[in-house]
Amino acid sequence: MAGMSQPEFLDFSHLAPLAKTLWPGRRRDYVSPGLADPGLMRVFPDLAEGDVADLQWPYLRKDAPHIWRRDLRGVRNPYIGVLSLDEATLLYNNALPFKGKRGLEIGCHYAWSTAHLVAAGLDLDVIDPALGQPDQMRDVRDSLSRVGPARLWAGFSPSVVPAVRTVKPEPWSFAFIDGWHEGDGPRDDALAVVDQMADDALVMFHDLVSPHVAAGLAVFAEAGWRVGLYNTMQVMGVAWRGTAAPASHVADKDMPQPEGQFLQGFTALSR
C-alpha cells in the first residue's frame, strides 16, 4: 500500500482479512527468470523487513512467501509497505521499453518504486501529497539523487493530474497508479489518467487483491484496453494498448493464486 494520500490511519478491524494463514517458512526475495534487476536495494538502506502478522490492512497476502518491507523514514505512518522485489523488478522491466518517453507515478511514498521507473529511463512526473512534508520531499530527493531526476509534485490526485499533464506537450506513455487505495480512490485516479495516455501505452497498478484497486484497472478495460494480472505478493495489474505489451513473468512456485470474484474478468499474465 505505497503512497497513501488521504488520512494516515484507518480502522480496518471490521473487515475480515484476506489471508487466514501466515506463510509458514522463511520469507525470501524473488526475481522472475528473464527479468533484469537494477539492484536498487543498495540505494535504500532504510528499507527494513517487517512482520506481516502485525499489520491490519485486510488485503495483505500474509500467506505469500515474499519479504514485506517498509521504509524506516516513514515515521508518520510506519505501516505503509513498499513493492516486493518481484514487483519492483516487474515495474522496472515494463517501463524499460518506454525509455525517454514521458511517464507518470501516482503515489511514491519514499521513492522505492519511483527509483525503478527513473532507472528505466522514464521522463517522470510524480504526484503525492506527502511530498508537501518538507522532510519527506528531502528524503525522496535524496534517494533519487543516486538514481536520476524526476519532477516531483506535492498534490492530491486526481485533482492535480490535468495540470501536471500540461507541463509538457507529450502525453504519458507509461503510468503507475499506486495512490489512495480505499473507496473510489483508485477508480478516480484511473479516470483522470485514461484519456491522458499515448496511443502506445502501458499502465500498472499495485495491490489488485483489493476490490477498490481492481475497480481502477477495470476503467481501462471499459475503455477498450487489454488488461491482465501478475501473480505477485500483492498482485499487480496491467493495462496496455497499441504496440505496447507487458513483460513476461514466471510466478514464484509457492505464490498462492489470486482470489476474488472481482478479479475473474482479468487475464492471468504470470506463468
Reported confidence tier of residue 54, pLDDT bands at 50, 70, 90: confident
C-alpha cell at 100: 525517454
Q: Any residues with CB less than 8 A from the CB of 38 and at least 6 apart, and which? A: 89, 92, 116, 119, 120
Segment 121-150 shows an average pLDDT of: 98
Least confident of 15-19, 173-177, 202-206: 15-19
Look at residue 27 in the predicted model and tell me its pLDDT: 96
Nearest of 57, 86, 52 to residue 69 by alpha carbon:
52
Could you tell me if 244 and 206 are in contact, meaning their C-beta atoms sit under 8 angstroms apart?
no
- The model carries a pTM of 0.93
Reported confidence tier of residue 10, pLDDT bands at 50, 70, 90: low
Q: Any residues with CB less than 8 A from the CB of 6 and at least 6 apart, and which? A: 180, 182, 185
Reported confidence tier of residue 15, pLDDT bands at 50, 70, 90: low
Q: For 85-115, write each residue's pLDDT tens digit.
A: 999 999 999 999 999 999 999 999 999 999 9
β-sheet bridge partners, residue 51: none
* Residue indicated by cell numbers 502485525: 54
C-alpha cell at 241: 494498448
The Cβ of residue 229 has, within 10 Å, a number of other Cβ atoms equal to 21
Segment 37-43 shows an average pLDDT of: 97
Look at residue 21 in the predicted model and tell me its pLDDT: 83
Least confident of 51-60, 81-90, 143-152, 178-187: 51-60
Torsion 201-205-209-210 (CA) sign: negative
pLDDT at 57 over 80: yes
Query: What distance in Å separates the CA atoms of residue 194 and residue 211, rounded to the nearest whole number?
Result: 19
DSSP class of residue 35 equals P
Could you tell me if 65 and 27 are in contact, meaning their C-beta atoms sit under 8 angstroms apart?
yes
Look at residue 14 in the predicted model and tell me its pLDDT: 56
* Residue indicated by cell numbers 539523487: 145
Segment 219-244 shows an average pLDDT of: 98
pLDDT at 16 over 80: no
pLDDT at 33 over 80: yes
Buried b (16+ CB within 10 A) or exposed e, 63-100: bbbbbbbbbebbeeeebbbbbbbbbbbbbbbbbbbbee
pLDDT at 201 over 60: yes
* Residue indicated by cell numbers 470474484: 261
Look at residue 17 in the predicted model and tell me its pLDDT: 63
Reported confidence tier of residue 1, pLDDT bands at 50, 70, 90: very low
Average pLDDT, the chain: 93
Query: What distance in Å separates the CA atoms of residue 58 and residue 177, rounded to the nearest whole number?
Result: 20
Could you tell me if 268 and 257 are in contact, meaning their C-beta atoms sit under 8 angstroms apart?
no
* Residue indicated by cell numbers 499533464: 165
Query: What distance in Å separates the CA atoms of residue 140 and residue 227, rounded to the nearest whole number?
Result: 31
Query: What distance in Å separates the CA atoms of residue 126 and residue 160, rounded to the nearest whole number?
Result: 11
Q: Please report the domains of the chain, with CATH numbers, ordered by start residue.
A: 85-268 (3.40.50.150)
Segment 245-252 shows an average pLDDT of: 98
Segment 223-236 shows an average pLDDT of: 98
